[in-house]
Amino acid sequence: MHLPGEEAATGEHANAVGTFIKSRGHNENNEGSNYAYDTHGRTRSLWTEGIYENRLRPFTLSTGVQYSQRYSHNTYEGDAEATNDLHVSGLYLFSQLKGKIGRLSYVGGVGGSHRYYSQGATHQHFWLFRPKLTVSYALTDRLQARYGFELSQHVSQIALISDVSIKLNRLETLVGNPNLRPNRVTSHDLHLTYTMPRLTLDLQGYARLNANCNLEQYTRVNTASAASSPARSSPSSSLPVTPSRTRPNSSTAISIRLSPSASATMAI
């Protein structure tokens, strides 16, 4: 794209990274009774990116695409027994403008992402429209105000979505939940920065809205009957039932799993 009488510089670049990881591990916990398991894992991943940039006046136009894919196969043997095959792929398309008008600098763009996830009988598609805006204004030669807005996604850790139950200690068992979905995060940031030759002062305020985020759910079970009656999710939860690998004793054990909820955070 060229405007009459304007000079423009264009540039393109592309990157690709592939990995293969093979791992083995042994975990053991001996708090009154022995608890041990071995893990064997293989992970293959691919990440690619392509960006096109056109430097115009008074702005720079950038557009690009990112694609990633990962496949993991993990087996657990011993007191924790499970086999997980996890496939995740992601696609992100974006375009943005960057420029400056007098004392005002800006970066604005729009994008869209798609994430596919499968594990066993669970298959998910997550689409998200992702706008982003950053505006900064020089109030004086030393004082600058900056505002940022972004809509992004948060993905739970692989260990939390694996369909496996792991005993953390004598009283806690972590139960993975393969039905967890990514959640949308809306962010607002405001900065006021004062710069001196040897000192920079920064005042920051931010607000975060995590829609349908994943929170931990604690379920107490009586381990005296855990050997004959597996722990279950709370009656109000629609999550699938997953056994808790607790051992019988006279205390109360806690099973932890993640479930969807919502939260908001604001700080100044």
Q: Is the pLDDT of residue 166 over 90?
A: no
At 205-247, the pLDDT tens digits run: 999 998 888 887 788 877 554 443 333 333 333 333 333 333 3
Work out the pLDDT band at 257, boundaries 50, 70, 90.
low
At 65-81, the pLDDT tens digits run: 999 999 999 999 998 88
- Say if residues 175 and 218 touch (Cβ distance below 8 Å): no
The pLDDT value given to residue 159: 67
Percentage helix, strand, coil, to 5, in the chain? 0, 70, 30
At 109-154, the pLDDT tens digits run: 999 999 999 998 889 999 999 999 999 999 999 999 999 999 999 9
- Say if residues 234 and 212 touch (Cβ distance below 8 Å): no
Structure tokens at 222: 């009586």
User: pTM for this one?
Assistant: 0.73
d(CA 220, CA 205): 38
Structure tokens at 115: 């994430």
Query: Of 8-17, 137-146, 157-166, which one has max mean pLDDT?
Result: 137-146
Q: Is the pLDDT of residue 261 over 80?
A: no
How many CB atoms are closer than 10 A to CB 95? 14
